[in-house]
Amino acid sequence: SMLGALDGEIDLKAGTVRLGRLAAGDVTTRLSLSHGVLSASPFVGQLGGGRVSLGARIEGGRGAPGIGLTVLIEDADVAEIFRDAFGAAPGKGRAEIAMQLQAQGRSWLALVSSMAGTGTIKAAGLAFAPLDVAGFGAALETLQDIDDFPSLVEDTLQTGETAARGLEGEFTIEDGVLRLAGDELALAGGTAKLLALYDLPRLAADAELTIVPEKPDGAPAFSIVATGRGGKIDVKTQMLDLQAFVAERLLAESLKEAGGTTRELRELMGLPAETRAAPPPPPSRPAFTQ
């Protein structure tokens, strides 16, 4: 190819360089071309309010076209990066992201569809918003009518912000799909686990935050699911188990106030019947010997 017959170097400065849906500003880099290999190193700029450093190696020549990338994003604003990449932000915080990627193909679609690699992420000062897990749990404890449950979700849960700790770990990219399955996060008012997927060829995102609230005591998990493509995000909540738990809790309280028996309460709450302890066996009679 023409790339394989060229050699040279050039220093480049650019106001903006777009990396997919992300835009890096104040970019400086040195491009070198030799034996069909185009290298960009170092490539530095501003991204998401932080710093991006990138090393790129693009192979052409007579072999199969391919690309190798090493990316480091430092002290980036989570809200800014997510708004640029996905069209909406899940909250606020700062993040450090490192990636090593490889891909092969003769077109942009072939390259991103074959993208593979690994990376790490570490977030600080993270808070999910709009989300108030602690306030929602406290409101559920004082709820008097199950018909008010949907309004609590809209007016309490889906407002404010919830501080989170523990978003730190590895992610993988295979066949152009990024997958992050994080460890347990500590939330103000509960705990959570995050599963996120991003399809690079389709520019489609799918994320699920599964939350276990501290209150009411014994409450089951509920989920918040976000899906989107092309900068449009749709967010839904999955609350059936939690709503059923709260309904049973209210019924049990009503039955107790009405003088219900322990057996009726246990049946209502789906608990096994209470069993009485078996009487102890009679003492064994001493053996006499002649």
**Residues sharing a CB contact under 8 Å with residue 206, sequence separation 6 or more, in sequence order:** 196, 197, 198, 199, 225, 226, 227
What is the pLDDT, as a whole number, of residue 267?
Answer: 64
What's the pLDDT score for residue 273? 55
Angle made by CA atoms 186, 229, 74, in degrees to the nearest 5: 50
Distance between CA 186 and CA 158 in Å, rounded? 19
pLDDT at 151: 95
Written as one letter, the residue type at 85 is A
* pLDDT bucket at 137, cuts 50 / 70 / 90: very high
- Given a contact cutoff of 8 angstroms between Cβ atoms, the answer to whether 79 and 43 are in contact is no
Q: Give me the pLDDT at residue 263, please.
A: 64
Q: Please state, rounded to an integer, the average pLDDT across all residues of the chain.
A: 84
Greater pLDDT, 174 or 60: 174
Local confidence band at 261 (pLDDT 50, 70, 90 cut-offs): low
Tell me the average pLDDT across 55-69.
Answer: 79
User: What value does the mean pLDDT take over residues 214-241?
Assistant: 91
For 227, the token pair is 């899906």
Cite the DSSP H helix spans in 108-148.
108-113, 133-141
pLDDT tens for each residue of 42-60: 788 888 889 999 888 888 6
Region class of 272: left (phi > 0), else alpha (psi between -120 and 50), else beta: beta
- Cα separation of 71 and 75, whole Å? 13
Of 28 and 241, more confident:
241
As given in the structure block, the two tokens for residue 118 are 């690994």
Q: Residue 222 pLDDT more than 70?
A: yes
Domain boundaries, the chain: 64-268
Phi, psi of 83 (to 5 degrees): -65, -40
Burial of 258 (0-12, 13-18, 19+ CB in 10 A): exposed
User: How far is Cα 56 from Cα 268, in angstroms, rounded to an integer?
Assistant: 63
Q: Is the pLDDT of residue 231 over 80?
A: no
Closest by CA position to 212, among listed 162, 248, 170, 167: 162
Specify the pLDDT at position 183.
85
Average pLDDT over residues 226-249: 90
pLDDT at position 289 over 50: no
* Residue of 102, 77, 101, 103 lying closest to 90 (CA atoms): 77
Region 63-85 average pLDDT = 87
Cis bond upstream, residue 130 (ω within 30): yes
- Pairwise CA distance, residues 41 & 68, whole Å: 12
**Please, which residues bridge with residue 223 across strands?**
210, 238
Tens digits of residue pLDDT in 15-31: 777 766 777 877 788 78
What pLDDT is stored for residue 286 in this prediction? 47
Q: What is the mean pLDDT of residues 145-169?
A: 94
Q: What is the pTM of this model?
A: 0.80
